[in-house]
Amino acid sequence: MGANHADYQHIVVPEGGSRITVNADKTLNVPHEPIIPYIEGDGTGTDITPAMKIAVDAAVAKAYGGERKIHWMEVYAGEKATGIYDADTWLPEETLSAVEDYVVSIKGPLTTPVSGGIRSLNVALRQKLDLYVCQRPVRWFKGVPSPMKKPADVDMVIFRENSEDIYAGVEWQAGSAEADKLIKFLREEMGVTNIRFPEQCGIGVKPVSEEGTKRLVRQAIQYTIDNDRDSMTLVHKGNIMKFTEGSFKNWGYELAAEEFGAEPLDGGPWMTMKNPKTGKDIVIKDVIADAMLQQILLRPAEYDVIATLNLNGDYISDALAAEVGGIGIAPGANISDSVAMFEATHGTAPKYAGQDKVNPGSLILSAEMMLRYMGWTEAAELVIKGMEKAIAKGEVTYDFHRQMDNAVLLKCSEFGQAVADNM
């Protein structure tokens, strides 16, 4: 996009620091003092974002003894943007342009009303910046309360397709001229006879493409290779949605064969391939989505990297997070070929907004992924150490406290500080 930074209307570019850039081979060029844009977020975003900054600044200072520093640059979206720009501007153009120009950013959650009102700004950011991978790692931290018998067995990384599917919001309200027109077309020109109540029907479209599927599955398999993981599972509902979810499964296997040399295992459909870096076998398999939701509870050790469609990925993310303490510590990243935007798995939790109460661990761990993405591994390790030690001491926010005996109840900001103090 290449905006002229002097032209920003409301974004204030920090005096110090410079931009991260992307090299021709797609590696990052990270200066010692990068400028990182952040969106504070609606609701509890105002609580967790400052707590995240406390922990991250402490990790960077400790890891690099003052030689590296993040210069935070606030950019606006959601309710805050409507106060700063105007009442109708929820996602300013200059926010999109800054997130793209500065390459790596982090955001708090943004509210989406149910039924009517604006469409999701979170989805809009992913679509407009083509952040097609939603990567959500799920692991257990020792001491975190869990409903699982063996929570350490839960160690999975979800690769959720982030740009397509019914989630993209191509839909029309019942009774609208558009819904009526589409239903008429389907019935009269496409031979559709099974729309049960055509006069009263809202209708949505579920686009799933070969390219969209393959670019996601490619990243999932590459991650499996790079991190020496055992398997990659395609999760779909292809028995029912044959040409969308079923095709996702077929294209996923096809990509594994074409680009990674995978071959049928015991006659297929599962496949096997060698990790080119370690020589270890990797199993490429698939599971139907409803069965997967029971598998991750009963046999979590058998699942590792997961590639799935947008809506399935949304459901599986929260379900898996619940197995290792809840969405209060569930991190994530939205990634394109050139831009990465880190964000928690959860939403704005409006009933807790502004109470300095919720768990900022989700956004702190999202920032940990961001530091690793930048190559600042030492700082990332310190974030993990700070989290592990704070939790091991029983210094936790309300969500863990209510499930633990003898824990110390911390506020959101206090947990951010506890992570910093325990590095």
Ligand X SMILES: O=C(O)CCC(=O)C(=O)O
Ligand Y SMILES: NC(=O)C1=CN([C@@H]2O[C@H](COP(=O)(O)OP(=O)(O)OC[C@H]3O[C@@H](n4cnc5c(N)ncnc54)[C@H](OP(=O)(O)O)[C@@H]3O)[C@@H](O)[C@H]2O)C=CC1
Looking at the annotation, which residues are catalytic? 167, 237, 290, 314
Report, in Å, the least distance between residue 170 CB and ligand X: 15
Per the omega criterion (within 30 degrees of 0), is the bond before 37 cis?
Answer: no
Exposed/middle/buried for residue 80 (C-beta within 10 Å: 0-12, 13-18, 19+):
buried
The nearer residue to ligand Y, 300 or 361, going by C-beta atoms, is 361
Name the binder of 252 from ligand X, Mg ion, ligand Y, none, CB < 5-8 A by kind: none
Check residue 111 for interaction with ligand Y (CB under 6 A).
Answer: yes
* Choice from 42, 47, 164, 314 touching Mg ion (CB under 5 A): 314
Task: Give the Cβ contact number of residue 202 at 10 Å.
Answer: 12
Report, in Å, the least distance between residue 314 CB and ligand X: 5
Task: Specify the DSSP element, H or E, that contains 320.
Answer: helix 310-323
Check residue 295 for interaction with ligand X (CB under 6 A).
Answer: no
Instruction: Judge whether 396 and 410 are in contact, CB under 8 Å.
Output: yes
Exposed/middle/buried for residue 213 (C-beta within 10 Å: 0-12, 13-18, 19+):
buried
The nearer residue to ligand Y, 8 or 352, going by C-beta atoms, is 352
The nearer residue to ligand X, 112 or 413, going by C-beta atoms, is 112
* Choice from 120, 209, 403, 413 touching ligand X (CB under 6 A): 120
* Choice from 40, 324, 346, 414 touching ligand Y (CB under 6 A): 346
Stretch that binds ligand Y, among 94-102, 132-140, 292-300, 344-352 (CB under 6 A): 344-352
The nearer residue to Mg ion, 270 or 315, going by C-beta atoms, is 315
The nearer residue to ligand Y, 17 or 328, going by C-beta atoms, is 328
* Choice from 46, 95, 122, 250 touching ligand X (CB under 6 A): 122
Check residue 110 for interaction with ligand Y (CB under 6 A).
Answer: yes
In this structure, the strands spanning 231-236 and 203-204 are: unpaired
Task: Give the Cβ contact number of residue 33 at 10 Å.
Answer: 14
Stretch that binds ligand X, among 35-43, 116-124, 239-247, 406-414 (CB under 6 A): 116-124
Check residue 135 for interaction with ligand Y (CB under 6 A).
Answer: no
Block residue for tokens 């996601």: 216
Report, in Å, the least distance between residue 347 CB and ligand Y: 2
In this structure, the strands spanning 340-343 and 395-396 are: unpaired
Distance CA 178, CA 205 (A): 12
Report, in Å, the least distance between residue 44 CB and ligand Y: 6
Stretch that binds ligand X, among 19-27, 73-81, 120-128, 226-234 (CB under 6 A): 120-128
347 to 366, contacts with ligand X by CB under 6 A? 347
Check residue 314 for interaction with ligand X (CB under 6 A).
Answer: yes
**DSSP per-residue string spanning 351-391:** GGTTSS-S-THHHHHHHHHHHHHTT-HHHHHHHHHHHHHHH
CB-based contacts of 273, cutoff 8 Å, min separation 6: 256, 260, 261, 262, 263, 281, 282, 284
Q: Give the amino acid at 176.
A: S
Check residue 42 for interaction with ligand X (CB under 6 A).
Answer: no
C-alpha distances in Å from residue 275, one per residue of 229, 267, 305, 359: 9, 20, 14, 37
Category of 223 on φ-ψ map: left (φ > 0), alpha (ψ -120 to 50) or beta: alpha
Check residue 319 for interaction with ligand X (CB under 6 A).
Answer: no
Check residue 125 for interaction with ligand Y (CB under 6 A).
Answer: no
Report, in Å, the least distance between residue 162 CB and ligand X: 8
Check residue 358 for interaction with ligand Y (CB under 6 A).
Answer: yes
Check residue 91 for interaction with ligand Y (CB under 6 A).
Answer: no
Q: Which residue is nearest to ligand Y (CB)?
A: 347
Check residue 343 for interaction with ligand Y (CB under 6 A).
Answer: yes
Going along 208-358, which residue ranges are E strands? 231-236, 263-264, 271-274, 281-288, 305-308, 333-335, 340-343
Contacting positions for ligand X (CB under 6 A):
112, 120, 122-123, 314, 317, 345, 347
Binding site for ligand Y (CB under 6 A): 44, 48, 109-112, 122, 326-328, 343, 346-350, 358-359, 362, 399
